[in-house]
Amino acid sequence: MVIANFTSETGYVIGIQHSNNLFSFYKHNSALLKKPGDYVKAGEVIAIIGNSGELSQGPHLHFELWFNGTPLDPVQFVAF
């Protein structure tokens, strides 16, 4: 399931609730392609990378991975 919103600091933010209490966040997007409550399949495009929010200093993707409310190092879980 998806949450999607805008904050002045991190711009357009989209978050996805995964199985096993994992949650991923994608911040500073220029556009969100999913709405709150949508379901996402692996490989679907969810947003367009951007430069939104006061804390952004150029186009990039800010990615976070959380487990049970605790931030994780995504490098240990995702092959980049």
Residues in the chain, pLDDT under 50: none
* Total domain count, the chain: 1
* pLDDT value at residue 56: 92
CATH value at residue 16: 2.70.70.10
Residue 15: beta bridge partners? Answer: 3, 25
**15 near 61, Cβ under 8 Å?**
no
Q: Give the structural domain span for 52.
A: 2-76
Question: What pTM, to 2 d.p., does this model score?
Answer: 0.89
- Residue 60 confidence (pLDDT): 92
DSSP structure string for 14-49: EEEE-GGGEEEEEEEESEE-S-TT----TT---EE-
> pLDDT value at position 27?
97
pLDDT of amino acid 79: 82
- Could you tell me if residue 55 is left (phi over 0), alpha (psi between -120 and 50 degrees) or otherwise beta? alpha
